[in-house]
Amino acid sequence: MKELIKTFYTSLNDHNVDLMMSCYHDEIIFEDPIFGKLQPDKAKKVWYWLCENGKDLTAKFSDIQIEDQKGSAYWEARYTFGDRKRPVLNRVNSYFEFKDGKIIKHVDHFSLKQWASQAMGWKGKVLGGTSYFRKKIQHRSNRLLDKFHIDS
């Protein structure tokens, strides 16, 4: 499973989303503070959307831990966000569950307030830690995913 996680993050850094998706089980559930909890179709779409819209996205990973059918890893994403091209360094702790040799559950934990402060400036710094902001950003992010089409 360690190699599976390495493949996933190396592929993210290379923007090879098809290879990333080969690491995911068909029934994948993904969850993070920005998108919330996503079912398989949206869980996969998130990575296509991120790589297409984050041309400068880089990912570095470390500290992969595997125990039975669970695992974890630490990774950092660097990219610019929005029209103002604000630099973001997102520090993420990821947790995984495995089934049939693939990732069936992927949960990313990071500080939404810290992310919002970098990505959105003073407004993010003020509002980023509130439940109102979390609901608003998840609603907005899911609408973007609904409108996004993967080119096959």
Predicted pLDDT of residue 152: 55
Count of the separate structural domains present in the chain: 1
**Quick check: is 133 in a domain?**
no
Q: What is the pLDDT of residues 92-123, one digit of tens each?
A: 999 999 999 999 999 999 999 999 999 999 99
**Quick check: is 119 in a domain?**
no
Q: Which domain holds residue 65?
A: 2-109
pLDDT, mean of residues 81-90: 93
**Quick check: is 7 in a domain?**
yes
The CATH number for 93's domain is 3.10.450.50
Decide: 59 and 75 in contact? Cβ < 8 Å: yes
Residue with tokens 């989303």: 17
**Quick check: is 15 in a domain?**
yes
**Quick check: is 127 in a domain?**
no
- Measured CA to CA, the distance from residue 63 to residue 86 in angstroms comes to 28
Predicted pLDDT of residue 132: 94
Query: 41-44: long-range contacts (C-beta < 8 A, 24 or more apart)?
Result: 42/142, 42/145, 43/106
**Quick check: is 136 in a domain?**
no
**Quick check: is 35 in a domain?**
yes
Confidence of residue 22 (pLDDT cuts 50, 70, 90): very high
Q: What is the pLDDT of residues 62-78, one digit of tens each?
A: 999 999 999 999 999 99
Q: What is the pLDDT of residues 40-63, one digit of tens each?
A: 999 999 999 999 988 999 999 999
**Quick check: is 141 in a domain?**
no
Q: What is the DSSP letter of 130?
A: S
For CA atoms 96, 140, 133, 83, give the dihedral sign: positive
Q: pTM of this prediction?
A: 0.93
CA 96 to chain centre: 13
Percent of the chain with pLDDT over 90: 95
For CA atoms 77, 82, 87, 91, give the dihedral sign: negative
Bridging pattern class, strands 86-99 and 102-109: antiparallel
Predicted pLDDT of residue 21: 97
